[in-house]
Structure 1
Amino acid sequence: MEADFRSFVEIVFENNEDFIQSWHLDGYNFFVVGMDQGIWTPGSRQQYNLEDAISRSTVQVYPHSWTAVHVALDNVGMWNLRSEIWTRSYLGQQFYLRVYSPVASTRDENTIPSNVLLCGRAIGRSM
């Protein structure tokens, strides 16, 4: 997934299973703004705590409930959001978020080395 530097993203985790699920954002924090039982709807945003939300890097989602987080995309580069249930990360319960900046500066992100090994669709593409 692609996103722009210094924007915000809302992520809603829904857990329809009978056990607690945990989600972790590697190296970054997000703000837990809401949680409730049942299914999330757009009207659930009326319950969000936008005044003093809690900053975390891992969040738990209780059985048959949802948790909403806001993420400030304040670092350029690749972010990884994954399930803390290790076996589930191979079932698609993780994703990478690429945060882009319009300014090509090593202050924000180092360029990929020229000797990097490429595979798959990346072969033959300029980095």
Structure 2
Amino acid sequence: MLPCVKTIEYQTFVEIIFENSEKAVLAYHLDDYSFFLVGMGPGKWSPEKRKTYNMLDVVSGHAVHVFPKSWSVILMTFDNVGIWNLRSELWERRYLGQQLYISVQTPVWSLRDEYSLPDTTLLCGAIVSLPKPPPYT
């Protein structure tokens, strides 16, 4: 199974909605990134639910719980260039596809955002024969 990669432009503001139709609590984690959990509730999410979001004293976190037959919403701005992993906390779920990679890119390459790939980087698998990306300037 190939991983799902979503490309997002640097400093894009996003709303991610999680829905859980199951009988167990589900948890999702965003590696090395903080987001704001602004809402959760029973049933299915709809655009009218935005009126219930907590926008005043919201707390940042790296993981979100989605209770049975409920929804949860996170808001965030991708202000770091790189690739980030949003995934289920349960390995079995990740194997079944409940994860995605978010590639945050800028229109201009810069060492301010991301370092060049070192010449000593070991490569394996299908990419061994591919050329390395050009260095950032």
Matched letter for residue 25 of structure 2: I
Task: Give the aligned partner of residue 44 of structure 2.
Answer: 39
> Match of 1:43, SS?
helix
SS at match of 2:57: coil
Larger Rg: 2
Larger CA deviation: 51-60 vs 15-24: 51-60
For 1:19-38, list aligned pairs within 5 A.
19-38=24-43
Pair 1:117 & 2:123 matched: yes
Deviations, residues 19-47 of structure 1 (Å, cap 9, x unaligned): 10000000011000110000001111111
SS at match of 2:112: coil
**Structure 1 position 12 matched with structure 2 position 17:** yes
Q: Cα offset for 1:81?
A: 0.3
Deviations 1:53-84 (A, max 9, x none): 21010111100000000021011000100000
Picking from 76, 100, 109, the partner of 1:104 is 109
User: Partners of 1:97 and 1:122 in 2: how far apart?
Assistant: 23
Cα deviation, residue 113, structure 1: 4.1
Q: SS of 2:64's equivalent?
A: strand
Look up the equivalent residue of 1:48 and give its one-letter code: Y
Which letter maps to 2:99? Q
Tell me the C-alpha RMSD between the 2 structures: 1.9
In the alignment, which of 59, 72, 96 is matched to residue 54 of structure 1?
59
SS at 1:66's partner residue?
Answer: strand
Q: How many pairs does the alignment contain?
A: 127
1:95 aligns to what SS in structure 2? strand
TM-score by length of structure 2 reads: 0.83
Distance 1:125 1:48, change over 3 A: farther
Point out where structure 1 has 5 or more consecutive residues left out of the alignment: none
Match of 2:92 in 1: 87
Identify unmatched segments of 5+ residues in structure 2: 1-5
Query: C-alpha deviations, 1:69-122, integer Å up to 9, x for none?
Result: 002101100010000011110110000000011221112112334555365589
Letter of the structure 1 residue corresponding to residue 103 of structure 2: R
